[in-house]
Structure 1
Amino acid sequence: MAPTVFRQGAFRFFFFSREEPRMHIHVTHTDGEAKFWLEPQVELAMNQGLSKKQINEASLLVQDHYEEIIHAWRSYF
């Protein structure tokens, strides 16, 4: 199961329900996907196919929606 937290443009931000316990968010885009750690700070954990510009945009969106993501994580897990 992979609940969506939010969508913005071509990006979808979501969790996998059975994955590691460290807080993180996955991002998909038509061009690829990425994973960002949320703690101790927002940090790129993995990138497959996204350009530097797309990663920067996704990172900014994670930072802008940080509280929403954390709340969704805690509510879900």
Structure 2
Amino acid sequence: MPTIFILFGFRFMFYANDHEPIHVHVIKGDVSAKFTLFPVTLIKNNGLKSSELKLVESVIEENQEVIAEHWNKFFNKSK
């Protein structure tokens, strides 16, 4: 489970067997969410509060390219 970064206690990561489209999983304790990257869209929410969703969505928007670079490097994809 490659971790991209941890911020505000949230782990931004993807799974080694993940699939396209590029997306990111966000985990904190026993709650999680999943967002697509282009565009940043919530796909699944498993317990995050609306304020937490807004925060992590903002972090993802600000770091779209960083997340995409990690994804592409891990899965050996060219941009």
TM-score scaled by length of structure 1 = 0.91
Secondary structure in 1 matching 2:16: coil
Whole-angstrom CA distance in 1 between matches of 2:56 and 2:30:
13
RMSD: 1.0
Other-structure match for 1:21: 20
Other-structure match for 1:7: 6
Structure 2: any 5+ residue segments left out of the alignment?
none
Other-structure match for 1:33: 32
Structure 1: any 5+ residue segments left out of the alignment?
none
Secondary structure in 2 matching 1:53: helix
Could you list the structure 1 runs, at least 4 aligned residues long, displaced by more than 6 angstroms after superposition. Answer: none
**Counterpart code for 1:74:** N
Whole-angstrom CA distance in 2 between matches of 1:64 and 1:72:
15
Other-structure match for 1:42: 40
Percent identity between matched residues is 32
Shift of 1:30: 2.4
Range that drifts further, 50-59 or 24-33 = 24-33
Other-structure match for 1:52: 50
Q: How many residues align?
A: 75
- Once the two structures are superposed, what CA deviation does each residue of 1:4-29 show, in whole Å capped at 9, x if it has no partner? 00110110000111122211000001
TM-score scaled by length of structure 2 = 0.89
Shift of 1:31: 5.2
Other-structure match for 2:62: 64
The question of whether the paired residues in 2 share the 8 Å contact of 1:31 and 1:50 is answered with: no
